Chain A
């Protein structure tokens, strides 16, 4: 902590130490009770570390063409081989983590904010507003995930920001349903009524009493949503409507020009797929374990897969 910052009071320091200690203990308990969830968490942390330090971990730049190294098999120099343009696959997979993390977290941020806004207001205000909003959500949900995203991308055009927007907006509909049910359950509680009787405004009730109590399902939805968003981004890029080349998206690396070379260089088809599977597996395991620990009611309400 910097010297010129105001010194925190002793009680603040003590309570923060206690909080830190108890959350460390909670993490330890989580690891013992849910070893697979902990493994998922480890994979997720690994992904984020690789994404942040991609330029240190990668051995070459992602679009660096290495002379005389077209379609080299995996070796000590090229851990995952090279592709048809002589680019190091390992470096491309490492930089691909950046795309996945950016799109995944971006889309989930957009989606979660939107879903919370829709779900909480719809569940809280109920009545005619709820009925109208729910019909719109119904309509939005009656489009298959991939179809509406592809159609949106046709309008928006490829690009990382557009992928984030499209995935976020489309993913919000389903999540808002779960948040709405949770909100309805919370709103029925006596303490919400008490707050209203004390003269709290809607905004205050929502922020102080409703939101904190629907946080658990929101966190779980977001964790599982991260896996879905990464999977969906890779599918979009595979079809050529996601993150445009030369930036390496795992889905994009499996598609297009590379496909015809995979017969001679099967490692080109292998590693990006392994990376996607591992990362999505990590998010799914973590999300599952979190759900079991935080909110058993949500059992089975996991996100929709995109294939």
Chain B
């Protein structure tokens, strides 16, 4: 087990380094006229040279990267060009909002996808199966931001109801705080739910055709035991993989839903930063999200080892 964990950790390190280099390189891809534009539109510096210095574009690239990595390791993500405040502090304040939104969305998608996927597989080619599959394709096709727009616009037209403006703090109004996350989390979770459901169904169908499942049936086990104990347990590995990949996509989605619903999380932070060409912030958000994603993937690998002893024993190659 520890060998397996170590191997996974070692594989994650180069990915994280390369990803950090991509983040580091982002502002360096800027064409010169964009730096000029930043100077003219946002007055980020007195002249071109000063702005280049503040963006760190003025020295050899290798030294820059090592220095930058050193600063990042010490927790210094630079300051926002727009507000002048440290990026790290701002991220720390906004991360919980995005985490809450993302976790709720993922919980929702699992809560929907697993039962529906199991029913669709067990009752293959029945009305329930077709309904579930059609709903899944629909969930993949309808853009979430459109649904969110309709959810805000239509009730306002029909009943004159609008969601409360402004963010509700948990300490002031715990119930209202949670309530404001429900709609965005559900809409954000739909796409992941659709993918997870399809995966659960496909994998379970494959497993249910195996010999040991037939053995389980012929032993006279109840359907519940066959499907959940013998079937689902073996079908879960790819489902967990997809779930791990979707953590990243859910975090991407927070940009849209925090913008629409006015939730002050990382997504909105990134959106504003991109509008203002605030590169230290763009880098900071990207770096944090990559770290979260890599950590999640590691976690997923650990989960494999827990739910499937086979992986534990042969080192996970």
- Seen from chain A, the residues whose Cβ lies within 8 Å of a Cβ on chain B are 135-136, 138-148, 150-155, 157, 227, 231, 234-235, 238-241, 251, 254, 259, 262-263, 266, 269-270, 272-273, 276-278, 280-281, 284-285, 288, 299-300, 302, 304-307
Task: Give B40 Cβ to nearest chain A Cβ, in Å.
Answer: 14
Known: A139-B22, A241-B274, A263-B156. 11 other contacts (CB 8 A): A141-B248, A148-B286, A151-B26, A151-B270, A231-B141, A269-B146, A277-B141, A281-B137, A281-B142, A302-B195, A305-B191
Chain A residue nearest to B274 in the complex (CB)? A154
Within 8 A of A (CB), among B144-176: 144-146, 149-150, 153-154, 156-157
User: Does B300 sit within 8 A of A, measured CB to CB?
Assistant: no
A145 touches B249 (CB 8 A): yes
User: Does B263 sit within 8 A of A, measured CB to CB?
Assistant: no
Q: Which of chain B's residues have a CB closer than 8 A to the CB of A272? A: 146
Given contacts A147-B251, A239-B256, contact A155 B30 (CB under 8 A): yes
Given contacts A144-B293, A269-B149, A284-B137, contact A238 B256 (CB under 8 A): yes
> Considering the chains assembled together, what is the distance between the CA atoms of A307 and B192 in angstroms?
10
> Considering the chains assembled together, what is the distance between the CA atoms of A142 and B17 in angstroms?
11
A146 touches B253 (CB 8 A): yes
A300 touches B144 (CB 8 A): no
Task: Give B275 Cβ to nearest chain A Cβ, in Å.
Answer: 8
Please pick, from B149, B191, B297, the residue contacting A262 in the complex, using a CB distance under 8 A: B149
> Considering the chains assembled together, what is the distance between the CA atoms of A240 and B259 in angstroms?
12
Q: Which of chain A's residues have a CB closer than 8 A to the CB of B294? A: 142
Interface residues on B, range: 35 or more
Please pick, from A153, A302, A307, the residue contacting B253 in the complex, using a CB distance under 8 A: A307
Q: Which of chain A's residues have a CB closer than 8 A to the CB of B289? A: 143-144, 147
User: Does B81 sit within 8 A of A, measured CB to CB?
Assistant: no
> Considering the chains assembled together, what is the distance between the CA atoms of A278 and B275 in angstroms?
30
Majority-rule SS of A interface residues = helix
The CB with the most chain B CB atoms within 10 A, among A147, A153, A277, A302, is that of A147
A306 touches B252 (CB 8 A): yes
User: Does B202 sit within 8 A of A, measured CB to CB?
Assistant: yes
Chain B residue nearest to A143 in the complex (CB)? B290
A263 touches B270 (CB 8 A): no
Majority-rule SS of B interface residues = helix
Q: Which of chain A's residues have a CB closer than 8 A to the CB of B198? A: 300, 302
Within 8 A of A (CB), among B275-296: 275, 277, 282, 285-286, 289-290, 293-294
User: Does B29 sit within 8 A of A, measured CB to CB?
Assistant: yes
The CB with the most chain B CB atoms within 10 A, among A136, A153, A278, A285, is that of A136
Interface string of B168-206 (1 = CB under 8 A from A): 000000000000000000011011101100110011000
Task: Give B23 Cβ to nearest chain A Cβ, in Å.
Answer: 8
A307 touches B141 (CB 8 A): no
Q: Which of chain A's residues have a CB closer than 8 A to the CB of B18? A: 135-136, 138-139
> Considering the chains assembled together, what is the distance between the CA atoms of A266 and B155 in angstroms?
11
Q: Which of chain B's residues have a CB closer than 8 A to the CB of A266? A: 153-154, 157
Chain A residue nearest to B198 in the complex (CB)? A300
> Considering the chains assembled together, what is the distance between the CA atoms of A277 and B138 in angstroms?
8
A155 touches B16 (CB 8 A): no
Chain B residue nearest to A157 in the complex (CB)? B34
* Shortest beta-carbon contacts, A-B, top 7: A144-B252, A307-B144, A146-B252, A139-B18, A273-B146, A305-B191, A281-B141
> Considering the chains assembled together, what is the distance between the CA atoms of A269 and B149 in angstroms?
8
A–B pairs, 15, beta carbons within 8 Å: A139-B19, A140-B19, A142-B297, A152-B26, A155-B27, A227-B141, A238-B256, A259-B149, A273-B146, A276-B143, A277-B138, A277-B143, A277-B146, A280-B143, A299-B202
Q: Which of chain A's residues have a CB closer than 8 A to the CB of B277? A: 154
Given contacts A145-B249, A155-B26, contact A150 B255 (CB under 8 A): yes
Within 8 A of A (CB), among B204-243: 238, 242
> Considering the chains assembled together, what is the distance between the CA atoms of A158 and B143 in angstroms?
21
Given contacts A266-B157, A300-B198, A300-B202, contact A144 B16 (CB under 8 A): no
Given contacts A239-B256, A284-B140, contact A135 B14 (CB under 8 A): yes
User: Does B124 sit within 8 A of A, measured CB to CB?
Assistant: no
> Considering the chains assembled together, what is the distance between the CA atoms of A151 and B30 in angstroms?
11
A140 touches B245 (CB 8 A): no
User: Does B68 sit within 8 A of A, measured CB to CB?
Assistant: no
User: Does B271 sit within 8 A of A, measured CB to CB?
Assistant: yes
> Considering the chains assembled together, what is the distance between the CA atoms of A262 and B285 in angstroms?
32
The CB with the most chain B CB atoms within 10 A, among A142, A143, A231, A288, is that of A142
Q: Which of chain B's residues have a CB closer than 8 A to the CB of A234? A: 143
Chain A residue nearest to B18 in the complex (CB)? A139
Task: Give A257 Cβ to nearest chain B Cβ, in Å.
Answer: 14
User: Does B126 sit within 8 A of A, measured CB to CB?
Assistant: no
B188 touches A151 (CB 8 A): no
B138 touches A281 (CB 8 A): yes
Chain B residue nearest to A228 in the complex (CB)? B140
The CB with the most chain B CB atoms within 10 A, among A144, A146, A152, A270, is that of A144
Task: Give A306 Cβ to nearest chain B Cβ, in Å.
Answer: 7
B149 touches A150 (CB 8 A): no
B195 touches A305 (CB 8 A): yes
Chain B residue nearest to A132 in the complex (CB)? B14
Task: Give A269 Cβ to nearest chain B Cβ, in Å.
Answer: 5
Chain B residue nearest to A144 in the complex (CB)? B252
A285 touches B137 (CB 8 A): yes
> Considering the chains assembled together, what is the distance between the CA atoms of A138 and B18 in angstroms?
9
